[in-house]
Structure 1
Amino acid sequence: MARRITRKQLKQSDEFVSTMDSMVIWLSGNWRPIAAGIGVVCAVALIWWLFGLWNHSRSEYASFALQQAVVIYEGEDSFGQLQPTGDPDAAEVVFLQVIDDYGKTDQADMARLYLARIHFDRGQTDAARDLLVGLTERHRDDVIGRLATIDLIHLRIAAGQANEVVAELEAMVVGSNPGLPRDVALYELGQLYMAEQNPVQAGEYFQKLMDEFPEFHFSQSQASVYAIAAQHDPAMLKAIARRLHEGRWEVTASHWVENDMNL
């Protein structure tokens, strides 16, 4: 038996046909702006994709250029050296070129960090300070900013501001100053007191660092450090021996390697 179609169903069918007719008429009258809009969206997507490819390629070139400069600065075989063994004058030229070519990138700012170290080694403290302060302001919460903060600390200590630096590092240890992580601040305090011929105080910070941060990686080659530990804190020397056995302490060092590695 055939199914009867009600008036309501006929009305709904008419409404659907009418709606489709209206859409077809509207599309036929507006297809040009619609096509133009789709074209704009596709063009923007293509430009964004090409920009991403270009930016990635540029970043790779910047990283390669920076690495070449670092090798020139540190030397081909710098492992185990307390100071860079390369050619700082030649490296300076390459670092400046990286900055000129990639001025607003992280790679360029790393070049500025190394350039500051070259200035510091030459005794050009004002030039080094200007670069480091700029880096700490631009990189407040990343590795570049922390490395710049550490180098700025070393510069200030060399300038006779050890007392002020101690107060700031103590604030970082307790968390009231966000300049450096607690473990790095503890390490810097230990190094500072060791340089100030206060091995007992230095030992307290190093021991606290080893107890609280077992994953912290040490790298040290200065025989005087081990001699001082043996004389003033034999327990710490034993702790160093344990960490050496665990692979968490290396009897070697390179230029500012300790915190560079841990950051």
Structure 2
Amino acid sequence: MASHLDLEEQEQLDQLKAFWKTWGNLITWALTIALAAYAGWTGWNWYQRDQASKAAAMYDELDRAVQAGDAEKAGRVFGDLKERFPSTTYAAQAALQAAKAQFDKGQADAARASLSWAASSASQEDVRDVARLRLAGLQLDAKQYDEAAKTLDAIKSPDFVALQADRRGDLLVLQSKPDLAKAEYQKAYAAMDKNQDYRRLIEAKLSTLGVAPSVEEAAAAGQGAAK
């Protein structure tokens, strides 16, 4: 019996040796690749958390500078943040915050530079569009009309149609094109939520161009009811 078991064990051992000879290297490489991939994934997650933690600390420093009205420090911190952690959400938000602090302190050139970075490099599309809207406003203030038009053209999100049209209207007014401005303001007024307070400002702009949107809206509603 013992001899029979020994023969079976030897046969199984020989089969295992043959299997390992055929597939051993492949299995070893597969395990190595799997372990390397897992280690890489774990390391990348740690790296991402580490980067986010450091970026958050810098953003907090920038926020304190903004609250204190220290535009110079806010600009410096933002410069470091965008250089070290440009792909984080903190860098994008820092650009908007720094630009506001700079604008409030009369540093229009620095504010435009901060918004230009956000408009082209922020990792979130909605932040890029917010930056473009604000940048276009500063470009209008600086009479950079061609640049403002290009900035507005870059906004593609449907969420910003109303504000984009409103800002286009401002541009066209400054370019002495009242009829085109009127059309843009009407587009903005129609696209803006009726509960938004800003809609009244657009209505006021239309009124200065001889348009009473509330009357037109009532007339349109009456025609719709008649149908």
Q: Which bin holds the TM-score, normalised by the shorter protein?
A: 0.5 to 0.7
Structure 1 segment 145-160 matched on structure 2, within 5 A: 145-160=128-143
Structure 1 segment 134-149 matched on structure 2, within 5 A: 134-138=117-121, 142-149=125-132
Equivalences, count: 201
Assess if the C-alpha contact under 8 Å between 2:116 and 2:131 holds in 1. Answer: yes
Assess if the C-alpha contact under 8 Å between 1:72 and 1:86 holds in 2. Answer: yes
> In the aligned structure 1, how far is the partner of 2:196 from the partner of 2:175?
20
Residues 219 and 131 of structure 1: CA distance in aligned 2, closer, same or farther (over 3 Å)? same
Q: Could you tell me the TM-score, scaled by structure 2's length? A: 0.58
* Residue aligning to 2:169: 190
Answer 1 or 2: higher relative contact order, Cα 8 Å, separation at least 6.
1
Assess if the C-alpha contact under 8 Å between 2:103 and 2:111 holds in 1. Answer: yes
> In the aligned structure 1, how far is the partner of 2:215 from the partner of 2:57?
41
**Paired residue secondary structure (2:24):** helix
Give the one of 32, 42, 50 matched to 2:35: 42
AA aligned to 1:235 is: P
Give the one of 178, 181, 189 matched to 1:210: 189
- Determine if the alignment matches structure 1 residue 107 to structure 2 residue 107: no
Residues 159 and 103 of structure 1: CA distance in aligned 2, closer, same or farther (over 3 Å)? same
> In the aligned structure 1, how far is the partner of 2:77 from the partner of 2:185?
38
> In the aligned structure 2, how far is the partner of 1:52 from the partner of 1:140?
18
> In the aligned structure 1, how far is the partner of 2:174 from the partner of 2:141?
11
Give the one of 44, 48, 58 matched to 1:51: 44
- Determine if the alignment matches structure 1 residue 62 to structure 2 residue 59: no
Cα displacement (A) at 1:186: 0.6
Q: Per-residue displacement from partner, 1:121-172 (whole Å, max 9, x unpaired)?
A: 444444444444444443598223323322332222112233x367558xx6
Residues 225 and 205 of structure 1: CA distance in aligned 2, closer, same or farther (over 3 Å)? closer
> In the aligned structure 2, how far is the partner of 1:180 from the partner of 1:144?
11
**Paired residue secondary structure (1:180):** coil
* Residue aligning to 1:180: 155
Cα displacement (A) at 1:70: 4.1
Cα displacement (A) at 1:111: 2.0
Q: Could you tell me the TM-score, scaled by structure 1's length? A: 0.52
> In the aligned structure 2, how far is the partner of 1:108 from the partner of 1:141?
11
> In the aligned structure 1, how far is the partner of 2:28 from the partner of 2:20?
10
Residues 40 and 190 of structure 1: CA distance in aligned 2, closer, same or farther (over 3 Å)? same
> In the aligned structure 2, how far is the partner of 1:237 from the partner of 1:57?
57
Assess if the C-alpha contact under 8 Å between 1:66 and 1:107 holds in 2. Answer: yes
**Paired residue secondary structure (2:143):** coil
Residues 202 and 217 of structure 1: CA distance in aligned 2, closer, same or farther (over 3 Å)? farther
* Residue aligning to 1:252: none
AA aligned to 1:88 is: A
Unaligned residue ranges in structure 1 (runs of 5+)? 1-20, 76-84, 240-263
Cα displacement (A) at 1:180: 1.2
Cα displacement (A) at 1:72: 5.1
Residues 225 and 132 of structure 1: CA distance in aligned 2, closer, same or farther (over 3 Å)? closer
Cα displacement (A) at 1:48: 0.8
**Paired residue secondary structure (2:42):** helix
> In the aligned structure 2, how far is the partner of 1:89 from the partner of 1:124?
9
> In the aligned structure 2, how far is the partner of 1:140 from the partner of 1:91?
20
Structure 1 segment 55-134 matched on structure 2, within 5 A: 55-56=48-49, 58-59=51-52, 62-63=55-56, 65-66=58-59, 69-70=62-63, 73=66, 75=67, 86-89=69-72, 91-99=74-82, 101-134=84-117
